[in-house]
Amino acid sequence: MAPSIVIVGASHAGVQFAAALRELGHAGAITLIGKEATLPYQKPPLSKGFMLGCMSRENLLLRSPTFFESEKIDFRPGVEVLAIDRVAKHITLNTGEKKNYDILMLATGARPHAWPQANLPDGTFTLRSLADAERLRHAATTIQGPIVVVGGGYVSLELAATWRKEHDREVTVLNSGSRVLLRSASAELSDLVTACHREQGVKILSNQRATRILSHDTGAVCAVECAGGLNIPAALVVLGTGVLPEQDLAESAGLPCDNGILVDSQCRTEDPVIFAAGDCANFSSRLTGQRQRLECVQNAHDQARVAASVVMGQDTYYTQVPWFWSDQFDMKIQTAGTLISSSQCIVRGDIEMRKCALYHFSSTGSLQAVETVNMPAEHIHARRLLASVIAPTPAQVAEPTFNPKLFLQNALACE
């Protein structure tokens, strides 16, 4: 008899895992449990197309409303898993039901960092869910006055670009680090993004740690207070201070966790019948040789597909090159690979014209990551380079005539 599979988490990783199992021929029961009382939806457009109002709820859906019924997937929206009993091999739901499993997938995602201040003023928001996005979109179109975005990550900058470009709002980005995108982009790309935002009228203040959200007597937000005493006026505040992996359920069940649920290269936890994938999973990267946790859609999809194939008896490993993208003003930013702090950067193209590729090498000269701005074809070729065992040297990339597509073709022809 085919094993009964239960999936905790109904976002990108969870839905992809269920879909891949069916595609690979799994005929047994699949139960998909999601906290949110909605059909599963895409997360990246929440700060872009959906925030602009040019993407509907229906367009956000990961699968059609009929998908789960047609694929015989028991989808349970609005249900929370309270505990895992690894000995009895069942989970306990907030409905009181105990659900047995043969295979369990944890695709629990991540949650925003909790802001230390209690009783936040009206007009203060976070953005993680569709409900968050709907509230924030309504507020941004109805509340007049300056907007302050706390945090200098990709989502914060996408929101700033959206509101500045489309609504001509006064936007300030408060960043506690020395530069924006400190943990997710190179210094070179950070400088380019900062310059573009400032040219468009976005105020970016780095080395400014927000400590308190101030309010009027009415209870509405009026300013953001910084550690150095600076107060930034605000009628609307978004807290974009990063996320934490949703690992509490796994920890309570005794599964090893460290900035995420620890998994092997087949997305399996210490328990051989429990897998984890997506934002909640901490894995060993073949590119860096180090453990890491990635918060990007493609990683969630790739890990889910690997786990599904392993469940179906295939000897598959997670070796995919991670990649993600961001749209800000006139910039299509795409990154492939994993940046490391010791990397050497070779710039191709015209960085001043915002059409460039940034090739990053480790201290030993191996290609680690490629960031591109408005060069989608170069991004595709860079992903192929990173996925291959053949990689150019820094000197080769620095040559004006270097062409990643031809380099790979010639290298493969010589094998």
**For residue 49, which phi and psi values (nearest 5 degrees)?**
-60, -45
Half-sphere exposure of 311 (CA within 13 A, CB side): 35
How does DSSP assign 251-313, residue by residue?
Answer: HHTT--BSSSEE--TTSB-SSTTEEE-GGGEEEE-TTTSSEE----HHHHHHHHHHHHHHHTT
| Cβ contacts of 391-394, under 8 Å, gap ≥ 24 | 391/366, 391/367, 392/367, 393/365, 394/344, 394/346, 394/359, 394/361, 394/365
CB of 319 closer than 8 Å to CB of 364 = no
- CB-neighbour burial class of residue 251 (10 A; exposed 0-12, middle 13-18, buried 19+): exposed
Q: What is the chain's length?
A: 415
Write down all domains in the chain, each with its CATH number in brackets. Answer: 5-111+244-311 (3.50.50.60), 117-241 (3.50.50.60), 330-413 (3.30.390.30)
Q: Does the pLDDT at position 329 exceed 70?
A: yes
- The alpha-helical segments, DSSP class H, found in 214-263 are 248-252
Confidence tier at 343 by pLDDT (50, 70, 90) = confident
Confidence tier at 361 by pLDDT (50, 70, 90) = very high
CA distance 248 to 250: 5
Tens of pLDDT along 363-386?
888 899 999 999 999 999 999 999
CA distance 133 to 294: 22
The pLDDT of 246-250, averaged and rounded, is 98
CB of 167 closer than 8 Å to CB of 141 = yes
CB of 203 closer than 8 Å to CB of 194 = no
Tens of pLDDT along 74-87?
999 999 999 999 99
Q: Does the pLDDT at position 115 exceed 90?
A: yes
Q: Does the pLDDT at position 215 exceed 90?
A: yes
Confidence tier at 413 by pLDDT (50, 70, 90) = low
What pLDDT was estimated at residue 100? 98
What pLDDT was estimated at residue 360? 96
CA distance 204 to 149: 10
CA distance 82 to 16: 23
CA distance 14 to 281: 12
The pLDDT of 192-212, averaged and rounded, is 97
Bridge partner list, 100:
90
Confidence tier at 226 by pLDDT (50, 70, 90) = very high
What pLDDT was estimated at residue 265? 94
What pLDDT was estimated at residue 415? 56
Q: Does the pLDDT at position 199 exceed 90?
A: yes
Confidence tier at 68 by pLDDT (50, 70, 90) = very high
- The alpha-helical segments, DSSP class H, found in 168-215 are 187-199
| Beta-carbon contacts of residue 353 (< 8 Å; ≥ 6 apart) | none
What pLDDT was estimated at residue 252? 98
Residue 370, CA distances (Å) to 295, 323, 393, 397 in order: 17, 9, 13, 11
**67: helix, strand or coil:** helix
Q: Does the pLDDT at position 287 exceed 90?
A: no
What pLDDT was estimated at residue 251? 98
% of the chain beyond a pLDDT of 70:
99
The pLDDT of 160-174, averaged and rounded, is 94
What pLDDT was estimated at residue 44? 94
Q: At what angle do helices 154-167 and 187-199 cross, to 10 degrees?
A: 20
Longest Cα pair distance anywhere in the chain, in angstroms? 74
Helix (H) or strand (E) holding 385: helix 376-387
Tens of pLDDT along 308-319?
999 999 999 999
